[in-house]
Chain A
Amino acid sequence: MSLPIDTLITLLKDGLLESLYMTIVSTIIAYVIGIPLGIIVFVTDTGGILKNKPVNFIFGVIINMIRSVPFLILLVAMLPVTRAIVGTTIGSTATIVPLVAAAAPFVARMVESSLKEVSPGVIEAAKAMGASPIQIITRVLLPEAKPSLTVGFTIAISTILGYSAMAGFVGGGGLGAIAINYGYYRYKTDIMLITVALLIVIVQIFQTVGMFAANKIDKRTNN
């Protein structure tokens, strides 16, 4: 090993905690923004319960615009915004700002696609029963889409973990920063491999837990 073992363990432990901190907080905030956004683009779409072409178009364009900027560029472009919000551009907390900016539109699309899986017939039935648009959203769309939203959450959190690792390039913390600082800048390949292995393990855990939860939640499967 290129580093004393206890130094290495502390380094990795801190990196892991930072990564989880960035990922979890960013995912939560991204969902707080992304769920309403996803609902808006879904219900305002043609054939939606609150069809509204201009609103749908505007939100669609904003989401696509942010989504088409590569994350690394967004990270750099957002530096002034990050500084204005957090006060610094370095460290894990600062990384949360660009992570949320990148993840929220992504989450919005995931939510939209989950809502699209809800049978139009069920929505029609709710309308026929006299449900208001808000009731359809809160009592039909979201509960019916729950299994699919859970799968989406699993994908989103893994993707955000990946993004958080990239943030290491511009002074973010976490496992990504360790991989870059030790593995890339100092040619310590072994440390890089360990961080990569850790990232793989975390993604595996997210994926397994997420799919298990989605299956458990889904009442369409007999288990």
Chain B
Amino acid sequence: MIKLEHVSKEFETRGKKKIDAVNDVSLTINSGEIFGIIGFSGAGKSTLVRCINLLEHPTKGKVFLNDVELTAASAKELRQERRSIGMIFQQFNLLAQKTCIDNITFPLIISGVPKKEAIERAKELLELVDLSDKAKAYPEQLSGGQKQRVAIARALATYPEVLLCDEATSALDPITTRSILALLKKINEELRVTIVVITHEMRVVEQICDRVAVMSDGFIKEVGTVKDIFLNPKSDTARKLILPERNRIEKGKRTDILRLAFDGQSSYEPIISELTLESGACVNILGANTEDIGGKAYGQMLIELPEDKEAVKKIKAFLDKKQIHYEEGGNADVTTD
């Protein structure tokens, strides 16, 4: 379990101006869960995750790993604790002059594990990440996805309880992203490793996270299960993250917009066609971001409602019947936060 209590991190910029990258954040991340921290660039999420393993020392507040207060640990104790917190990065950060296997044995060697044992463990891990044939390859010879797999293997070498992922898939293409996320999920399920995922992409959160915290300007805006945040986003930041197109529409001061959220309905049903037939009115699709995951629809769609009040009523009734979650978009319900 990771617990952050009123953690703040202040940076001083060149002009002696102070910037609060993280602002009074309190969070509990449970053992065994996949916890997402989502926000736009500059929201402070990378700083926040670095406060967990104290790569950044919080200016204020406490950080706990289980019962150990990391913020109160000595440099030596902290190095010891860090061995139970693995970390992977957007840019992989592999040792360019070492082979894959030497990269993976690195954390073991520095913690005093005999070389032979370290190599055995590294081979196991290479198998786990499906790269047994690349043991002697140098990072330069690998693709981005393969590099991240080696980084994952390296992060897991010391049997950590927690794996921190800082934008781990942001430098990868969508297909590779999906396979890396599947690997993380497998690690979480099979090795019971708690995973903290930092991302700016909603689809990453949707695919693997149990719970998610939405971050903006150094503050946590809301925390909840992925489903809750997805269906009922309370903060403006969450709304924008869920559907970036909405931002553009809101600027046009539209009040007759409906956001439909699909969270596992059958993707074989022609929902929109049925909706128009049922209501007898035309709807205009303003934006959509849906995905078919194993025959189920995930994602959302923005539709423009007809002016006819009766038709709107019928549309809503239809959606209720189909158990599709919807939300009225537009200016009326936009909270400014």
Contacts and interface: CB of A to CB of B under 8 A. Distances in A.
Interface of A: 119, 121-122, 124-132, 135, 139-140, 143-144, 146-147, 217-222
Interface residues of B, number: 32
A71 B109 CA distance: 45
A119 B93 contact: yes
Interface in B108-148: 109-111, 138-141
B107 A130 contact: yes
B131 to A, nearest CB: 17
Contacts of B155: 129
A221 B82 CA distance: 32
A37 B91 CA distance: 30
A122 B93 contact: yes
Interface of B: 53, 55, 79-83, 85-87, 89, 91, 93-98, 106-107, 109-111, 138-141, 151, 154-155, 158, 164
A147 B81 CA distance: 33
A135 B110 CA distance: 7
Given A127-B55, A130-B82, A121 B95 contact: no
Contacts of A127: 55, 82
Nearest to A145: B97
Contacts of B154: 129
A127 B106 CA distance: 12
Given A128-B55, A221-B140, A222-B140, A139 B110 contact: yes
Given A131-B79, A222-B141, A143 B93 contact: no
A188 to B, nearest CB: 50
B79 A128 contact: no
Closest 4 CB pairs of A and B: A130-B82, A125-B93, A121-B93, A129-B107
B95 A144 contact: yes
A179 to B, nearest CB: 41
Contacts of A143: 95, 97-98
Nearest to A119: B93
A125 B150 CA distance: 13
